[in-house]
Amino acid sequence: MKHFSLILFSILFSVQIGFAQKMTTITYFQNDTLKLDLNLFLPEKKSNEKLPLVLFVHGGGFGGGQSKDGNSFCEYLSKNGYAAATINYTLYMKNKKFSCDGVLTEKVKAFQFGANDLWLATSYFVENASKFNIDPSKIFVSGSSAGAETALHAAFWDRNLMKMYDLKLPENFKYAGIISGAGAIMDLNLITTNNVIPAFFFHGSGDSTVPYGTASHHFCKTNASGWLMLFGSHSIYDKLIEMDKSASLYTFCGGGHEYAGTLFEKDPQPILAFLNDVLAGRKFQNHTIVPTGKKNEISSAYKFCN
């Protein structure tokens, strides 16, 4: 029931992180020109049941960041019975312009590289599911900012149309769910009754980089070379509610893009609750309002923040 609440191909090496928590770095894809790694965290206690897996994609505007940015989140999940991996991916926009003075086609290509790398990481775990005791039907994707945009497009793009590599994923494969921190998608019509999945969003309503609602990337003017329309967390959440599907949204009222990683980094418990609810088959539709004490023109359109 909808309700509103007030609050806020090879293993390279292993290291030990607190309480003998194991992190393993793995090369999940390599060809003549590209080598991609991930950091995998597994529960210390062996399970007789197949493990759900959460893949995390870091932010950084497709030009910065690194997989270790998701280590603490993945470690938290592993301590709560999940396999979790934070991936490196192609930083296509490195040393390129990604704002209003950028090139639209280059922005789209950055999304495509990211989504393809996430599909490759997913393929690796589907192929090696028995090795890591993972259930391929319980793979979630997550990400912050550019990572969230990567996860959203990986979840809802047509893989046959957008793939850049040979993927070893079943034709009917889809993720179990998605967690998006300050992410957006290029077209709401990409979400259909055939590919829709449970989703958890969190976003600052005053984000001027990635729109919380529907607006251009960086709120660029329509004559900008890098103009790109995006549909943010609130718009996607509304779409899922209209479809009567499970969705949760945390709105940081007035907050900017600095909230893109807040729940991953500081308070992952609501994300864990979302994952547990999905695996338990529970339906949910909830919007949590988090006051920040900040106000701006962008958030004034959302009356629940006033």
pLDDT of residue 298: 75
Measured distance CA(74)–CA(136) in Å, rounded? 18
Chain centroid offset of residue 83 CA: 16
pLDDT of residue 20: 41
Q: What SS3 state is found at 300?
A: helix
Measured distance CA(88)–CA(70) in Å, rounded? 10
Enclosing domain of residue 226: 2-305
DSSP one-letter string for 133-156: TEEEEEEEEEEETHHHHHHHHHHH
Give the residues of the chain that fall short of pLDDT 70: 1-21, 297, 299-300
pLDDT of residue 299: 66
Which DSSP symbol is given to 30? E
Tokens 């497009």: give the residue: 153
pTM of the predicted model, to two decimals? 0.92
Longest dimension (CA), the chain: 58
The number of beta carbons lying within 10 Å of the beta carbon of residue 236 is 26
The CATH number covering residue 117 comes to 3.40.50.1820
Per the structure, the count of domains in the chain is: 1
Measured distance CA(117)–CA(232) in Å, rounded? 22
